[in-house]
A = this chain, B = another copy of it.
Amino acid sequence: MDFNLAEGIAVLERTPHAFRALLDGLSPAWTDATEGPETWSPYVIVGHLIHAERTDWIPRAQIILAQGPQRRFTPYDRFAQFHESQGKTLAQLLDEFARLRSEGLTTLAGWRLTESQLDLQGEHPEFGAVSLRQLLATWVAHDLDHLVQISRVLAKLYSDEVGPWRAYLQGRWGRLGQQPWWRLSWTPRTD
């Protein structure tokens, strides 16, 4: 599917509400759970999304649009949330994410971007030249990837609790070299 600004924005408008609908009010048994050492909990992930709103998407778009002599992005800190989220409840983080997203989308709408502006480029610290179109598509995909991740973290907490249904569900989760579960789910059989 080709990137389309209006359709990309439609997702970006919705994801903060999806995160809130899923997570707000759940007990820490769910929201502080991880997939093991050095993996992230839903709480940590929401902090990561906030930091990206503040320092990544709109600031990088501004660098690209300015087309100044210095178009290299500031490297993104993947661990900022471990100190920035301190002392905040998940409910506060979910509100903050929704507020920052709304502000970012207002800024984006105000630019009234043209197709040729979407082709303008900045310099990624590792990849080199990237276009504004690619940056905005990544903003969308990044949200969705973290929704995949959070849903998976929660689902895996019941890996054992489901008992024999694990045979149907496990392909969807942890094992490396697993059969893709959407094939499993297509297999005509009872469950």
What residues make up the interface of A, taking CB atoms closer than 8 Å to B?
1-4, 7, 10-11, 14-15, 17-18, 20-27, 29-30, 33, 35, 38-40, 75-76, 78-79, 124-128, 130-131, 133-134, 137-138, 140-142, 144-145, 147-149, 151-152, 154-155, 157-159, 161-165, 167, 169, 172, 176-177, 180-183, 185-186, 188-191
Contact = CB atoms under 8 A, between A and B. Distances in A.
A138 B169 contact: yes
Contacts of A11: 26, 30, 154
A125 B190 CA distance: 7
A142 B39 CA distance: 22
Nearest to A74: B190
Contacts of A20: 21
Contacts of A181: 145, 149
